[in-house]
Amino acid sequence: MGAGDRRCGRTTTAPKLAVTAAVALIALAGCTLSHLVTFPFRATPDANAGAPPSRGLLLWLEGDDSLELDGAGRVARWNDARGRDRAAVSQLRFRGSPVTTTIATPYGPRRHTALRCAADSGRCAYWARDFRPGVPPLTLTGTPYSILAVVVRRPGPRFNNYFLMTTGTGCQNRFGGTGCTAGTVLHLGWAWDSMIRHSHYDFDVNSFVLLPAEGPVLIVAQSGPRGGMDVASLGAASAHTAFNSRPDPGPLIASNQLMVGGTPFFYPDGPDVPDWFFTGDIFALLVYDRELTLAERQQASDYLRNNYGPR
């Protein structure tokens, strides 16, 4: 935060210590919280919520039986819950591993299989595809959208740790995908240990108050008139509150491929690598090509909370 920046109607100066910076971030989250709460979570999810809304649902990924493995036991393809017509398909050799975990839910423990992406096992890069004849490619270009995800960020040194991205345009692949055209790259995931980011290169929407924990987290990110981002921990002992951290980051323009787990860049003088990549577990991912209403967001969130956590 530079000298003279204005936040919440007052002028701040650049902090000199890391502790001061952390306090400033918490204060920033607090000052926006009072007038941006738009999506309060019920204390207990609706047991009759049923499946998530179907209209505009581009991609519905949940682990369990929908992961197809290669001969080495890595995940080669993650099929849509509705069948193999839509899927997240591995790019090159960058494949995650299945990991099965027992999770506490409002209705007792449930076992789920997630996609685990890790830097020490090849990282992850999956291209979201639609194989139905005559159906256009999956894209979020120029349209309002809604994304709901249940993810676990494993503790580690990763700075930019995004589980969902688009490849964008104008990016300098040789230098790690920097310098992209404004508004063309979606980044959704962690930017720091305790900061979750919803970004359209380079308009960043940040949540500062979610503490790092190796437990399921529900993230709701929307772009459109109701846009913004809501975050809540699904851990049984969690006291984190869901909130809308800032308005939406504006439309994606020519966003290109929708990628899960990582984005592969192709170096002219070296190996292909997923430069932006996720270190953690992805349990569920719902991607819509429209903004959900408040009631629909509640229904989709309750569906995920019933399966992955008590909050």
Q: How far apart are the C-alpha atoms of 99 and 296, rounded to whole Å?
A: 30
Give the pair of three-digit tokens for residue 300: 């989709």
What pLDDT score does 26 carry? 34
Measuring CA to CA, how many Å separate 72 from each of 7, 117, 142?
52, 15, 39
SS (H, E, C) the chain: CCCCCEECCEECCCCCCHHHHHHHHHHHHHHHHHHHCCCCCCCCCCCCCCCCCCCCEEEEEECHHHEEECCCCCEEEEEECCEEEEEEEEECCECCEEEEEEEEECCEEEEEEEEEECHHHCCCCEEEEECCCCCCCCCCECCCEEEEEEEEECCCCCCCEEEEEECCCCCEHHHCCECCCCCCCEEEEEEECCEEEEEECCEEEEECCCCCCCCCEEEEEEECCCCEEEEEECCCCCCCCCCECCCCCCCECCCCCEEECEEEECCCCCCCEEEEECCEEEEEEEEECCCCCHHHHHHHHHHHHHHHCCC
Closest of 87, 54, 35 to residue 260, by C-alpha: 87
Contact 104, 216 (CB under 8 A): no
Phi then psi for 32, rounded to 5 degrees? Answer: -85, -20
Question: For the CA atoms of the chain, what is the radius of gyration?
Answer: 19
- pLDDT one digit per residue (tens) for the chain, 311 residues: 222 222 232 223 333 333 333 333 333 333 333 333 345 567 788 888 899 999 999 999 998 889 999 999 999 999 999 999 999 999 878 899 999 999 888 888 999 999 999 877 668 899 999 999 998 888 898 889 999 999 998 877 677 889 999 888 887 766 666 788 888 889 999 888 778 888 888 888 777 666 656 788 899 999 988 788 888 888 755 545 555 556 677 778 888 889 999 887 665 554 555 567 898 999 999 999 999 998 999 999 999 999 998 76
Domains of the chain: 1-36 (no CATH), 39-308 (2.60.120.200)
If 0-12 CB within 10 Å is exposed, 13-18 middle and 19+ buried, where does residue 161 land? buried
pTM: 0.83
| pLDDT, position 309 | 85
The confidence score (pLDDT) of residue 266 equals: 61
